[in-house]
């Protein structure tokens, strides 16, 4: 199974958003990764519905929307309405996780769960069959450009074996500090979706960086 690459739009140039969206369209990337932050669940604020709507207007690939917000259940339908194709919510951010995932499915999107760096994958055992994807944070969420945390490899392996034991095809996505040095090791451990922000957008040739990650 070929792995997917999801450039993180948080690292794009917001003064040239259309240009950067078209770059992703013309690259080997599979999805647009969109980080939504509320300043409460994580100590940063990113963007909301109007920006996602603008990205959707230009994007020719699915929008993978990662909600780093408290009580995400309040906004699921709105994110679906502005163009989200996949919506992931943090295990730590919603009390009734099963209900929130059902809400995402009912809004016509694929549903996933995100785990913070120190949340053990064992908490997912019962909810895995409902998940299109699990996103493992490989940094502490809130800011781009952070260093990848090595603890992630062990978590990926453990999660992949849980998924296999249940006979599922759940995707494992990694977000935070992904680059050319750790991408192959992550895929070998069992990840199949890689999010990269600064590594792509801050490079001189973003299309080449995406292609390199895709062909690892």
112, 71, 74: which is closest to 93 by C-alpha? 71
Catalytic hit among 35, 38, 64, 192: 35
Q: Which two tokens stand for residue 129?
A: 């069959």
126 catalytic? Reply is no
106 catalytic? Reply is no
97, 99, 90: which is closest to 41 by C-alpha? 90
Catalytic hit among 20, 30, 38, 175: 175
Q: How far apart are CA 32 and CA 65, in angstroms?
A: 8
Q: How far apart are CA 178 and CA 5, in angstroms?
A: 11
Q: Are 34 and 66 in contact (CB under 8 A)?
A: yes
97, 173, 193, 213 from 131: Cα distances, Å: 11, 12, 14, 25
138, 119, 143, 117: which is closest to 43 by C-alpha? 143
How many helices, marked H, and strands, marked E, lie in the chain? Answer: 8, 8
| Active site amino acids | 35, 175
């Amino acid at each position: 199974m070929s792995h997917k690459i999801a450039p993180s739009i948080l690292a794009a140039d917001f003064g040239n958003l259309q240009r950067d969206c078209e770059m992703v369209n013309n690259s080997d990337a599979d999805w647009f990764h969109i980080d939504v932050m509320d300043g409460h669940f994580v100590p940063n604020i990113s963007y909301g519905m109007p920006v996602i709507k603008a990205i959707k207007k230009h994007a020719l690939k699915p929008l993978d929307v990662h909600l780093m917000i408290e009580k995400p259940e309040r906004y699921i339908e709105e994110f679906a309405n502005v163009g989200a194709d996949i919506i992931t919510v943090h295990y730590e951010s919603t009390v009734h996780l099963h209900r929130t995932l059902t809400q995402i499915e009912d809004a016509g999107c694929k549903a996933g769960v995100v785990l913070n760096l120190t949340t053990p994958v064992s908490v997912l055992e019962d909810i895995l069959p409902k998940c299109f994807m699990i996103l493992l944070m490989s940094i502490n969420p809130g800011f781009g450009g952070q260093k990848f945390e090595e603890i992630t490899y062990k978590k990926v392996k453990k999660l992949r074996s849980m998924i296999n034991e249940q006979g599922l095809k759940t995707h494992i996505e990694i977000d935070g500090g992904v680059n050319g040095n750790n991408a192959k090791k992550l895929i070998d451990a069992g990840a199949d979706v890689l999010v990269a922000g600064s590594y792509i957008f801050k490079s001189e040739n973003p299309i080449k960086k995406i292609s390199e990650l895709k062909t690892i």
